[in-house]
Amino acid sequence: MDPVDTSTVGRCDETNAEYCGLVAQLHGERWRVRTARVTPRKPGLFLAFWRRGADGTTEPFRSTDQDGLLVLIDTDGHRAGFRFTAEQLDRLGITASPAHLGKRGFRVYPTWCTGLNPQARRTQQQHAEAFFEV
């Protein structure tokens, strides 16, 4: 396993600091790191995933802005995460591309989230390949 390039590890992505946004160089690839947060009214966890455009407005990341997204979860005695590759982010419509407008934030549903509505269950299934527990 290649070492982590410590010259960029921990560089804060200030636009998403509330979600512990970081940019990391892992094994020669550029990964964004976010911490998902529990919200009071909906199941699952939410994370912001956007960049500041040239005009100062928020916009979704493009599919070419990173090699992947690592979402970390530490809640209710569970430690887990999601490891989304750039291809997965594009396929899920999270990043902007010619095929998708992209999103500025989204919800994740770890395996222990139950009693979900049909849309949340579909999302949980779509994200399952990226899920891991620590």
Token pair listed for 123: 């999302």
Domains of the chain: 11-133 (3.40.1350.140)
User: How long a stretch of residues is the chain?
Assistant: 134
What's the pLDDT score for residue 21? 78
pLDDT at 70 exceeding the cut of 80: yes
State whether residue 67 is helix, strand or coil: coil
Query: Is this prediction's pTM over 0.75?
Result: yes
Strand locations in the chain (E): 11-12, 22-26, 29-35, 37-38, 45-48, 50-52, 58-60, 68-75, 78-85, 105-108, 131-133
Closest CA to 47 of 8, 74, 26: 74
pLDDT-derived band at 26 (thresholds 50, 70, 90) equals confident
What's the pLDDT score for residue 4? 42
pLDDT at 18 exceeding the cut of 70: no
Segment 44-58, tens digit of pLDDT = 999 999 999 999 999
What's the pLDDT score for residue 5? 42
Contacts of 35 (CB under 8 A, 6+ apart): 19, 20, 47, 71, 72, 73, 74
Q: How far apart are the first and last CA of the chain?
A: 19
Q: What is the mean pLDDT of the chain?
A: 88
